[in-house]
C-alpha cells in the first residue's frame, strides 16, 4: 500500500505527561499503578493507573480558565493532542483541511456522575450542562475546539480497540485520498461507573496486574490519552517534515464469540494480526517486538497467547504487555501503546513485562530484558475489545 507516515505523537498516562517522561518511566521500569488519588470511589482496595494531575492542574497546564464542565477525558486528550500537533508542526489554519478522529467509550461519564451525586442541588441549566458532556462525541468536540477548526470531527467507540480503530479509520481516509493528513487517537478517564462495571465482571486485580503470569488475577484500570498525526508520503515531502515512523500495516476482525470474553482459539486476534502482516507485506519473522493487549485476565492472556502462536509458531519475537505500567486505559490503550512502540523503535529498547514471575501453562514467556538481540525494525501492537472487536497495527522504522 502507499506509505503512511506518523509525523507527530503525544501521550499522557499514569507513567508521565508527554513522551519524555513516558520514555524515562519505561526505561526505568517504573509503574504508575498505585492507590487511587483522584477518583472518589469507595473501592480504595483496587489499584489504578491514574494520571497524576487534578483537573484543575491540567487546566492550568493548558492555560484555560477553570471550567467545571470540562471532562477529564477531554483535558487529558488536549494535553496529548497538543504534543502531537506541536511535533508535527500543525496549528491554526493548517488544521482546516485535517480531519480529527478521536476514540472514547467512557466519554464524559465523570461529569454525569457529578450530576447524579448532586441531582437535588442542580438547577436545570447546570443539570443540562453536566448531562450534555456525557456524550462521547462531546468529548471529541471539547478536545478539538481548544486548537481551532478541524476539517471534520469523528468519534470511534469499539470498547478497548477504539483508539486503534481510530488509527485504522484515519489510515483508510489517507489511502482513499480523502485527506493528506489525519489526526487520530483516543482519550479515556477513570470513572466510578467504569470501575464498578469491571469490578462486577470480577476481572479486577487487588494487586498490581501481572500479564501472562501463571498467577494473574485480572487487570488494573488506567486512564490517559494518545494522539498521532498520520500523513501521506506526498504531504511529508511537500511540508518537509521528518517522520517518526511508518504505519505499514493494520487489521481488524470480529469473532463475535462473547460479549466480554475472547474466544479460546483467539480467532479475531489471529485474523487481525494476519491481516496487518498481509497489508504490510511482511512475514511473521520480520516482526522484532509485539506489544500485546495483555490485560492480565485469565481469559485474555490465554486466548492471546494461543492466537500469537497460531501466527508465529514456535519462533516468537519478544513480547510484553505495557499495561503493567499504565493499567488498562481501555478505549485509549491502542493509541497510547502505539506511542510506546514508536519510542521502542526510536530508542531501540524493549519495554519489559514488569511484575511477571511464573510461566503460565501453554502461555508466552514475556520480555524481561530491555536489550534487543537484533535491530527493531517492525513492531506489532494488539488491541482487543469486548464483543471480539480485535485490531492490530504494524509500526515500522522510518528509513530516509
Residues with catalytic function: 160, 293, 328
DSSP H helix total and E strand total for the chain: 13, 11
Look up residue 2 and give its three cell numbers: 502507499
Separation CA 328–CA 216 (nearest Å): 14
Look up residue 303 and give its three cell numbers: 486466548
What is the length of the chain? 400
Separation CA 85–CA 78 (nearest Å): 10
For 278, other C-beta atoms within 10 Å of its C-beta total 11
Is residue 209 within 8 Å of 219, Cβ to Cβ? yes
- Sign of the dihedral defined by the CA atoms of residues 116, 120, 121, 123, in that order: positive
Radius of gyration over alpha carbons of the chain, in Å? 20
Q: Residue 323 contacts by C-beta under 8 Å, 6 or more apart in sequence?
A: 209, 211, 219, 220, 222, 294, 295, 296, 329, 333
The H or E element containing residue 320 is: strand 319-320
Of 318, 311, 172, 313, whose CA–CA distance to 249 is shortest?
172
Of 287, 252, 169, 245, whose CA–CA distance to 4 is shortest?
245
User: Residue 84 to residues 103, 179, 226, 341: CA-CA distances in angstroms?
Assistant: 16, 18, 9, 15
Amino acid at each position: 500500500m502507499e506509505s503512511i507516515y506518523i509525523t507527530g505523537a503525544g501521550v499522557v498516562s499514569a507513567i508521565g505527561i508527554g513522551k519524555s517522561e513516558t520514555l524515562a518511566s519505561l526505561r526505568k521500569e517504573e509503574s504508575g499503578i498505585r492507590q487511587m488519588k483522584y477518583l472518589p470511589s469507595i473501592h480504595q482496595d483496587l489499584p489504578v493507573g491514574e494520571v497524576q494531575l487534578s483537573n484543575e492542574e491540567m487546566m492550568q497546564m493548558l492555560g484555560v480558565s477553570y471550567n467545571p464542565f470540562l471532562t477529564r477525558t477531554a483535558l487529558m486528550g488536549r494535553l496529548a493532542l497538543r504534543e502531537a500537533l506541536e511535533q508535527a508542526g500543525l496549528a491554526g489554519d493548517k488544521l482546516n483541511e485535517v480531519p480529527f478522529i478521536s476514540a472514547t467509550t467512557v466519554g464524559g461519564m465523570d461529569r454525569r456522575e457529578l450530576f447524579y451525586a448532586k441531582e437535588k442541588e442542580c438547577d436545570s441549566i447546570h443539570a443540562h450542562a453536566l448531562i450534555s458532556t456525557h456524550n462521547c462525541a462531546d468529548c471529541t468536540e471539547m478536545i478539538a475546539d481548544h486548537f481551532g477548526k478541524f476539517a471534520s470531527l469523528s468519534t470511534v467507540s469499539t470498547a478497548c480497540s477504539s483508539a486503534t480503530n481510530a488509527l485504522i479509520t484515519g489510515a483508510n481516509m489517507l489511502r482513499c485520498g480523502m485527506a493528506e493528513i489525519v489526526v487520530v487517537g483516543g482519550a479515556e478517564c477513570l470513572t466510578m461507573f467504569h470501575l464498578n462495571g469491571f469490578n462486577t465482571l470480577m476481572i479486577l486485580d487487588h494487586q498490581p496486574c501481572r500479564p501472562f503470569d501463571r498467577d494473574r488475577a485480572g487487570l488494573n484500570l488506567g486512564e490517559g490519552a494518545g494522539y498521532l498525526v498520520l500523513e501521506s508520503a506526498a504531504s511529508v515531502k511537500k511540508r518537509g517534515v521528518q517522520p517518526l515512523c511508518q504505519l505499514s500495516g493494520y487489521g481488524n476482525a470480529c469473532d463475535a464469540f462473547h460479549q466480554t470474553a475472547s474466544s479460546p482459539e483467539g480467532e479475531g486476534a489471529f485474523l487481525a494480526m494476519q491481516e496487518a502482516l498481509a497489508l504490510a507485506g511482511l512475514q511473521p519473522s520480520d516482526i522484532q517486538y509485539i506489544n500485546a493487549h495483555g490485560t492480565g485476565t485469565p481469559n485474555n492472556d490465554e486466548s492471546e497467547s494461543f492466537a500469537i502462536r497460531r501466527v508465529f509458531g514456535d519462533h516468537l519475537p519478544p513480547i510484553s504487555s505495557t499495561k503493567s505500567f499504565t493499567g488498562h486505559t481501555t478505549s485509549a490503550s491502542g493509541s497510547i501503546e502505539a506511542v510506546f512502540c514508536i519510542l521502542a523503535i526510536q530508542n531501540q529498547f524493549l519495554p519489559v513485562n514488569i511484575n511477571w514471575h511464573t510461566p503460565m501453562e501453554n502461555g508466552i514467556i514475556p520480555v524481561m530484558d530491555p536489550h534487543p538481540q537484533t535491530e527493531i525494525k517492525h513492531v506489532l501492537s494488539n488491541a482487543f475489545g469486548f464483543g471480539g472487536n480485535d485490531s492490530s497495527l504494524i509500526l515500522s522504522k522510518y528509513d530516509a
